[in-house]
Structure 1
């Protein structure tokens, strides 16, 4: 399974396809690699927004000819039920993605409830520092840019540690760098962080 590209908004080019594996998602990656062992050929993958679920699923689908359903909680019970049956009839792995645990899907079909309960459940954990650094580096690498080490270390101690915030911070730093025609340095990181903290104090960049 490819392990290069990261769960940000950009659509990577073929040479950037894949995802980063750290402690935050290593268990998920291990099960994707060993899909033949899934109970009933199905894995339910949950995790917060921007955590890379769709990126992982796309790489999985391409390499295994498996099936996947994004935002599975938004589909009708019968649609999920038929897809589950198809995966088992065709002996193909099925990956169901959601930001919500199955208990919050409001499933009313008893047969589907029992099948999903018997399936493998995995969750992507909060981003560790290796994931955060890698996400920032990949975001800017796609644009032919780099982020300085001191900027990474500054953000490490101060920013809210969520996948969504990594994406928002990267986008804000990118915009500030374009405006100022400066590299992604410590001053840019400070200004971006102050924006999300509601601090509009002037910072020289």
Structure 2
């Protein structure tokens, strides 16, 4: 597989993959590295779809030996309450993941509410330019491909700035490149963005 240099830090995860660190998630990255300092051994991590929460959690789990719960907003109150107590009893760090802020989890158990309120809360910010470029490069590097610099510049100036949009554009460009048997260049980028701008496809928020 061909390799490309990413213009930002890549933190390896257990399966050889990893997440990118830019200003968008640098603070979250620092807190994940310093899990021993979390109050009550717990951190609540929120962020939009496709922002890397699960990959961050897998790396955190491997490095800390801690616990994590994906889609914590969908978890039963009693189950989460016992998990919080277990983490504190065993002095293991617990990472709770959700796209929604805690205020929207619908927690009704008073003891759980107080414990979540006392936990550390951090949020992944919207993707900055370095993150957008890095995610596109990483997506195509995994497939042994590259994306041209003029294609990146074109997309960065015109696309909706969201992690979900990066993912959907990358998938569309990949499909167009296979279909036309062309590299991922400016023409492919224009066609992919035009596909979403025309309303042919709904973009996830």
Taking structure 2 as the reference length, the TM-score comes to 0.91
Q: Distance in 2 between matches of 1:27 and 1:96?
A: 16
Q: 1:25 matched to which residue of 2?
A: 25
Kindly provide the CA deviation profile for residues 61-120 of structure 1, in whole angstroms up to 9, marking residues without a partner as x.
Answer: 011111000000001000100000000000000000000000000000000000000000
Closer, same or farther: CA 199–112 of 1 in aligned 2, 3 Å: closer
Q: What secondary structure sits across from 2:97 in the alignment?
A: strand
Contact 2:14/2:58 (<8 A) preserved: no
Closer, same or farther: CA 124–140 of 1 in aligned 2, 3 Å: same
Contact 2:14/2:62 (<8 A) preserved: no
RMSD, aligned CA: 1.5
Q: How much does 1:144 deviate?
A: 0.1
Matches within 5 A, 1:29-68: 29-68=29-68
Task: Give 5+ residue unaligned stretches, structure 1.
Answer: 6-11, 201-205
Q: Distance in 2 between matches of 1:13 and 1:183?
A: 31
Q: 1:139 matched to which residue of 2?
A: 139
Q: What number of residue pairs does the alignment pair up? A: 192
Confirm whether residue 91 of structure 1 aligns to residue 91 of structure 2.
yes
Confirm whether residue 108 of structure 1 aligns to residue 115 of structure 2.
no
Q: Distance in 1 between matches of 2:134 and 2:70?
A: 24
Closer, same or farther: CA 81–136 of 1 in aligned 2, 3 Å: same
Q: How much does 1:13 deviate?
A: 8.4
Closer, same or farther: CA 89–13 of 1 in aligned 2, 3 Å: closer
Closer, same or farther: CA 56–179 of 1 in aligned 2, 3 Å: same
Q: How much does 1:4 deviate?
A: 4.1
Task: Give 5+ residue unaligned stretches, structure 2.
Answer: 1-8, 201-205
Q: What secondary structure sits across from 2:21 in the alignment?
A: coil
Q: Distance in 2 between matches of 1:199 and 1:168?
A: 13
Kindly provide the CA deviation profile for residues 105-139 of structure 1, in whole angstroms up to 9, marking residues without a partner as x.
Answer: 00000000000000000000000000000000000
Q: What secondary structure sits across from 1:14 in the alignment?
A: coil
Q: Distance in 2 between matches of 1:13 and 1:77?
A: 30
Q: How much does 1:18 deviate?
A: 1.9
Q: 1:14 matched to which residue of 2?
A: 15
- Structure 1 segments (4+ residues) deviating >4 Å: none
Taking structure 1 as the reference length, the TM-score comes to 0.91
Q: 2:203 matched to which residue of 1?
A: none
Q: Distance in 1 between matches of 2:120 and 2:174?
A: 39
